[in-house]
Amino acid sequence: MSSLRGRVALVTGAARGLGRAVCVRLAEEGVHIVGVDIGRQIATVDYPMADTESLDETRSLVEATGARMVAVPADVRSSAEMREAVEVAVREFGRLDIVLPNAAIAPLRGPVGEEEATWHDVIDVNLTGAWNTAHAALPAVIEGGRGGSVVFTNSTAGLRGLGGGTVAFCAYTAAKHGLVGLARTLARDVGRYDIRVNTIHPAGINTPMMVNDAAAAFMEENPEFTSSVHPALPVRFMEPRDVSEAILWLVSDSARYVTGVALPVDAGCAL
């Protein structure tokens, strides 16, 4: 993947989990990073979210590879903040080649009596936030004239319906299905600039978003849900590093003709 050396990637949700893993993996290939994360809690999310210190830790891990990273605390729900993040990328590195709208939230229930707020927060982060990121970043990629790649972090929930019986699950699944349509439309729109747009669909990943007290309690209380998302391969949770390898391939020149694809990396969970 040495063809990536010197390119610049904008990664949202970079403070931990898959976002951190892909930042480090790209950096190992010589990619410079602009890492974005909100760095604070959203009230409807029932597990602890990352803080700004976590984003700084990602930067340290990236810089240990020899690549550079600029950390940008920003909320993907704000189109203005995402435009500012893109401006940082262009100002610091002079280019932008790879866009990874990865930021997401996955509350399982949300606060009692706050179903409407939960719905809006999940849609606003997981779908509108992804749109804000791509919409802000694509003009800079187009202006570079070198082509590029966008990979939306999706989910098994973007390929099949998930039960669970909560507004949070409905919103999450709706947002992830929406990302497939968004990616396919953008792939048509920006293909003439040699920019590729894909989605990647992991199942459960060993990250704080999936492995936390709230999730454990929900799974224990709803064994039928757990069985409904059981993978075909003998694994409970995938590791972030393994999923980042698939993203690395999608943004590399090895996948130069792959666009508009919804790629499952899910141990057979969507079968």
- Per the listing, tokens 């666009």 go with 259
Give me 178's structure tokens: 């929406």
User: Sheet containing 262-265: which strands, arranged edge to edge?
Assistant: 69-73, 32-37, 8-12, 98-100, 148-153, 195-202, 262-265
The DSSP secondary structure of 163-182, one letter per residue, reads: --SSHHHHHHHHHHHHHHHH
Which amino acid is located at 113 in the chain? G
Exposed, middle or buried, 79 (CB in 10 Å: 0-12/13-18/19+)?
A: middle
Q: How many other C-beta atoms can be found within 10 angstroms of the C-beta atom of residue 18?
A: 28
Active-site residue, 172 included: yes
Out of 47, 172, 193, 257, the active site residue is: 172
Contact 214, 108 (CB under 8 A): yes
Give me 159's structure tokens: 């390929």
H-only helix segments in the chain: 17-28, 52-63, 79-93, 115-123, 129-144, 167-190, 213-221, 223-228, 240-251
In this structure, what DSSP letter does residue 193 have? G
Exposed, middle or buried, 193 (CB in 10 Å: 0-12/13-18/19+)?
A: middle
**Positions marked active-site:** 172
